[in-house]
Structure 1
Amino acid sequence: MNKNIAYGIIGFGYLLIGIFTWRFKYFIKELDDTQALLFGILFIIYGSFRIYRAIKAYKNGEK
């Protein structure tokens, strides 16, 4: 498997964790609304960044 594809999958995992945290207000322990919103957005942004970098590297042919 190309490492860029693996990085994209990991980024997608972070994106899902962010959505889960934001929606269900739980990450290792119960979170209040503000904490869930902040952690969720943080994970979503980081996951999106990882996916973007993986796609960019894949298109440039980097290994």
Structure 2
Amino acid sequence: MNKNIAYGIIGLGYVLIGIFTWTFKYFIIQLDDIKATLFGILFIIYGSFRVYRAIKGYRNDQK
């Protein structure tokens, strides 16, 4: 398994955690609306960045 594929899967996990946190307003403890939104957006942005870097690294390895 290519390490970039694993990094992409981890990035998707972060995106899913962000969606879960934003939707259910829960991350280890119950969060209020503002904190849940901020944490959710933060996780989604970081996960998207990880997926982007994984795709970029995978394409560079294929060349």
Q: Give the TM-score taking structure 1 as reference length.
A: 0.96
Query: Partner amino acid for 1:19?
Result: I
Q: CA deviation at 1:44?
A: 0.1
Cross-structure match for 2:58: 58
Segments of 4+ in structure 1 off by > 6 A? Answer: none
Aligned-partner residue type, residue 40 of structure 1: G
> What RMSD over aligned residues (CA atoms) do the two structures have, in Å?
0.9
CA offset at residue 27 of structure 1?
A: 0.0
Q: Aligned partners of 2:2 and 2:61: how far apart in 1?
A: 10
CA distance in 2, matches of 1:58, 1:13: 18
In the TM superposition, residue 23 of structure 1 has moved relative to its aligned partner by 0.2
Q: How many residue pairs get matched? A: 62
Tell me how far apart the structure 2 counterparts of residues 28 and 42 of structure 1 sit (CA, whole Å).
16
What is residue 24 of structure 1 aligned with on the other side?
24
- What is the match of residue 37 of structure 1? 37
Q: Separation in 1 of the partners of 2:28 and 2:50?
A: 22
Gaps of 5+ in 1: none
